[in-house]
Amino acid sequence: MVRVLVYLAVFACLAFGAVWLADRPGEISVIWQGYRIDTSVAIGAIGVVLLAFLVLLAWAIIRFVFGLPSAFSLSSRARRRARGFEAVSRGMVAIGAGDPVAAGRYTGEARRFVPNEPLTLLLEAQTAQLTGNRAHAEAAFKAMLDRSETRVLGLRGLFVEAKRRGDMAAARAFADDAVRRSPSLAWANDALLDFHTNAGDWQAARTAVERRAALRLADKAEARRQRAVLLAAEALEARDKEPERALAAALEAVKLAPALTPAAALAGRMLAERGDVRKASKLLEAAWREAPHPDVAAAYLDVRLGDSALDRLNRAMTLSKLRPADPESVLVLAGAAIQAREFQKARDTLKPLLAGGASVRACLLMAELEEAEHGAAGRVREWLGRATRAPHDAAWVADGLVSDHWMPVSPITGRLDAFVWTVPPATLGSPPQALDDVLADLDDSTKLIEVKPESVTVVEPAAVVVSAPPKEEPKEEPKPAPAVPVEAKVEIKSEPAVKPEPEAQPAPVPKPAGAANSTASAAHGAVAREAVPPKPVIFPVPHAPDDPGPDEEPPGEPKKSGFRLFG
């Protein structure tokens, strides 16, 4: 619209000028080189305009003639530049597709046509990385340091190459340099945080977390959680050397993250040691409401030293009322009841867990209950055997690692706040070693045969099998056992009870290669048992899950004692 108005204004001015000249006629005389030209003013004005147009046209022709070499040169450079950028584009696509041959060809073209472009250096470095030429890649990244627009990119590439060859000192130096040049780089700040946490420099790590939060590289909730984890790590490290600083750090960590169990348990224990029982109890109760955990329960039951078992039971009842439906509350209350010798209360407390599928800790509590109440070794053995097949309890899990204690950093990946209190998957590891130790204490003299799909080998008692003491043999020279395949029929019913074997052979029987392994697959992997003659062995379970059945012990078998889960 504006252009139309401008055009109309120009035409109006020209029309006005023409009318003005027509209304004011005049004469113009020009005498030059003996010639005289007489004309009107209007014709003279038209002649002046034509003369100016001809002059401009002549000047344009002269410039075009003299500018042809430069035009050809510019056109050639433009074509070369276009071909170079096309090679860069196709080279990046080849790198993304994983084609090192095409990437090398396009890198050569880009280096020939646009050698000084930053993208050419990047293409050259990534092609070297794709082909495995680390020295060439580092040379390309170092070349980027000489240019301001590619300096940070070069530092990133050198950082990656240093980490790849395991030079953490050089990698940290490159990350520091990158943060100094560009403080808002996310990768450099994350790398410095990882370096500080892996080195155990918790204060420097907290500074890095605060810088990331200030630059909005992490949200507020994540930054608060990370600060709490670092404070908890600092408190655990200073627990014995600087108790005052450890307590202050633990309290601040609990304030930032009330559900952080290690900080709450440590703060509660340290407050209890100082005699501040009321504050410790409130802190632990608040932590239990957020996240029930055995460490919090243990600190809460031990908040006042010298209390009787009945006092601990009352405290456990108070704690269980805060989260009555949580399995941890049931387990804590049952354990305290067993210690207080309130056996019926412990049995009634554990009954809901047993009905819904008892976990390892629930089975161990039932074994402890049977031993404390009845001293029945048969029932204890049955519950211990059931514990080996029970679902796992919650544990600290991070990056496929199951740990019995919390750590601020994953030892697998070095990630901060990686451990989570959860039930580990069934594929992670075997039953806890403490359970194997408990079972091994029942009969240390027994050696077991571990039946695997490929062979049968003799192993120490690290599996869940209990055998009766060997009977006294007549004083005769023992004969070696015949080498026969282990093909005893084993009928396994639901919740099998492990019965004592009738006899113990002096030596295990090796299994020949290629023998049938249906027994091993029916027992979910490897089944450990002693070598016995090929007789049918049946494991009946005629009782309810919470009643291990009659206390039947082989005659002359000594009672085992000393097994305790709590206390």
pLDDT of residue 147: 87
Neighbour-count burial for 36-53, b at 16+ CB within 10 Å, e otherwise: eeeeeeeebeeeeeeeee
What pairing do the DSSP bridges indicate for beta strands 401-403 and 395-398? antiparallel
26: Cβ contacts below 8 Å, ≥ 6 apart: 40, 41
8 Å CB contact between 513 and 455: yes
Q: What's the length of the chain? A: 567
Q: State whether residue 501 is helix, strand or coil.
A: coil
414: Cβ contacts below 8 Å, ≥ 6 apart: 194, 197, 198
- How many Cβ atoms sit within 10 Å of the Cβ of residue 496? 18
pLDDT of residue 354: 87
499: Cβ contacts below 8 Å, ≥ 6 apart: 537, 539
This prediction's pTM? 0.62
Give the relative orientation of helices 261-273 and 277-290 as an angle to the nearest 10 degrees: 170
8 Å CB contact between 446 and 467: yes
Q: Which whole-number Å values give the CA distances from 283 to 154, 253, 255, 286, 297, in the listed order? A: 50, 12, 10, 5, 12
What pairing do the DSSP bridges indicate for beta strands 395-398 and 420-422? antiparallel
pLDDT of residue 7: 86
DSSP sequence for 504-559: --SSPPPPPTT---HHHHHTTS-EEE----S--EEE---S-TT--------TTPPP
- How many Cβ atoms sit within 10 Å of the Cβ of residue 424? 17
400: Cβ contacts below 8 Å, ≥ 6 apart: 412, 428
pLDDT in tens, the chain (567 residues): 888 888 889 888 888 887 887 777 777 888 888 888 888 777 877 888 888 999 999 998 988 888 777 777 777 788 888 999 999 999 999 999 999 999 999 999 998 888 888 889 899 999 998 998 989 999 999 999 988 888 999 999 999 999 999 999 999 999 999 999 999 999 999 999 999 999 999 999 999 999 999 999 989 999 999 999 999 999 999 999 999 999 999 999 999 999 999 999 999 999 999 999 999 999 999 999 999 999 999 999 999 888 899 999 999 999 999 998 899 999 999 999 999 999 999 999 999 888 877 889 999 999 999 999 988 788 999 999 999 988 889 999 999 899 989 999 999 999 999 999 998 886 554 443 433 332 333 333 333 333 333 333 333 333 333 333 344 444 444 444 444 333 333 333 334 433 444 444 444 433 433 333 333 333 333 333 333 333 433 333 334 344 444 444 444 444 444 434 433
What do you get for the CA distance between the two ends of the chain, in Å? 93
pLDDT of residue 462: 35
30: Cβ contacts below 8 Å, ≥ 6 apart: 36, 37, 38, 39
pLDDT of residue 427: 53
Residues 173/175/180/181 CA torsion (nearest 10 deg): 110
